[in-house]
Amino acid sequence: MNEFEEYAKAKATSILKAKNIAPLLESIATLPYIPSRIHSDNGIHITALDSTLTLDSSSQHSQMLHSLALQLKPWRKGGFYLFDLHIDSEWQSFMKWQLLAPHCELSGKHIADIGCNNGYYMFEMLLHKQKMLNFYEDSKLPDTLPKSITGFDPSGIFKAQFDFLNHFIKAPIDFELLGVEDLLSYCQSRKKAFDVIFCLGVLYHRLSPIETLKSLSQCLERGGELILDTLIYESSQELCLSPAKSYAKMSNVYFIPSIPTLQGWCERAKFKHFEILALMPTTTQEQRQTPWVDSQSLESFLQQDQSLTIEGYQAPVRGYFKLKKE
CA distance 243 to 275: 27
Kindly give the pairing relationship between strand 220-231 and strand 317-325.
Answer: antiparallel
| Domains of the chain as residue ranges with CATH | 1-95+108-178 (no CATH), 194-326 (3.40.50.150)
The candidate with the shortest Cα–Cα distance to 91, out of 110, 107, 115, is: 115
322 vs 72: CA distance, rounded Å: 33
Tens of each residue's pLDDT in the chain, 326 residues = 899 999 999 999 999 999 999 999 999 999 999 999 999 999 999 999 987 776 665 678 889 999 999 999 999 999 999 999 999 999 999 999 999 999 999 999 999 999 999 999 999 999 998 888 888 765 567 888 999 999 999 999 999 999 999 999 999 999 999 999 999 999 999 999 999 999 999 999 999 999 999 999 999 999 999 999 999 999 999 999 999 999 999 999 999 999 999 999 999 999 999 999 999 999 999 999 999 999 999 999 999 999 999 999 999 999 999 999 98
CA angle (138 as vertex; 22, 154 as ends), nearest 5: 30
Beta strands, E only, 7-135? 36-40, 44-48, 80-82, 85-87, 110-114
For the beta carbon of residue 307, count every other beta carbon within 10 angstroms. 10
Judge whether 120 and 78 are in contact, CB under 8 Å. Answer: yes
Stated pTM of the model:
0.96
Whole-number Å distance between alpha carbons of 186 and 137: 32
